[in-house]
Amino acid sequence: MFVTFEGVDGSGKTTIMEALACELRAQGHKVCATREPGGSALGKSLRELLLHTETKITKRAELLLFLADRAEHVATVIKPALAAGQVVLCDRYIDSTLCYQGYGRGLELNELRFLNSVATANLFPDLTLVLDVPIEIGLKRALSRADSSNTCRFEQEALQFHAKVRQGYLEEAAISPRFRVVDASQAFSQVLASCRAHLLSHLASC
């Protein structure tokens, strides 16, 4: 089973995903918990470049770097883990590209859908949990955990950019049955309980 976690910066998806990975392991599942960008050996260098370079990157070059990260990640980490029967939990995947580079930066959505399918060789998630939070709350959380010298390029974007990204997630979730939207402005225990319920009901149906 391949599950992705998505949301605006500071939505809490990383912490929730780690907690669920621990729970699944405790129940005896083999779990591969990974992330984009940066889930492969090559991806670690690409992550640093994509999130922290001070060099200006054009929209299309940025897009292609995320896709290179994804192609390598799918081929060297995700597909082998799925083939070995593991549950793969991935912090960001194709929908981050649609929402950040598409809805956020304004690149053409259908072009991005096609390029995502090229990068992943058509490997789509079985389930996608979108942790939805008002952008002011998300950014406050994201900026409070990064020290001022370590904020990433995306956290420095204007509120309007993040609002478009959030809207993108909600629009994508409305048109595809693989999404579940969770209200991530609730207390951590409630967010975790909702995500757990979606995950377990999906596992049971597999």
Q: Report the interface residues with ligand TMP, using CB under 6 A.
A: 9, 35-37, 51, 66, 92, 96-97, 100-101, 152, 154
**Residues listed for the chain:** 206
Q: Which is nearer to ligand TMP, 90 or 192 (CB)?
A: 90
Beta bridge pairs of residue 4: 90, 128
Cα(155)–Cα(137) distance, integer angstroms = 13
Beta bridge pairs of residue 131: 7, 182
Min separation Cβ 205 and ligand TMP, Å: 27
User: How many Cβ atoms from other residues are within 10 Å of residue 21's Cβ?
Assistant: 17
Cα(134)–Cα(186) distance, integer angstroms = 11
Cα(190)–Cα(93) distance, integer angstroms = 24
Beta bridge pairs of residue 90: 4, 34
Q: Which is nearer to ligand TMP, 131 or 181 (CB)?
A: 131
> DSSP character for 121?
T
Min separation Cβ 77 and ligand TMP, Å: 14
Min separation Cβ 173 and ligand TMP, Å: 17
Amino acid code (one letter) for 67: L
Backbone φ, ψ for residue 81 (5° rounding): -65, -45
Min separation Cβ 51 and ligand TMP, Å: 6
Considering only CA atoms, give the Rg of the chain.
16
Min separation Cβ 204 and ligand TMP, Å: 29
Q: Which is nearer to ligand TMP, 96 or 120 (CB)?
A: 96
Min separation Cβ 90 and ligand TMP, Å: 9
Residue 116 near residue 172, CB atoms below 8 Å: no
Q: Which is nearer to ligand TMP, 30 or 59 (CB)?
A: 59
Q: Which is nearer to ligand TMP, 47 or 198 (CB)?
A: 47
Q: Which is nearer to ligand TMP, 81 or 94 (CB)?
A: 94
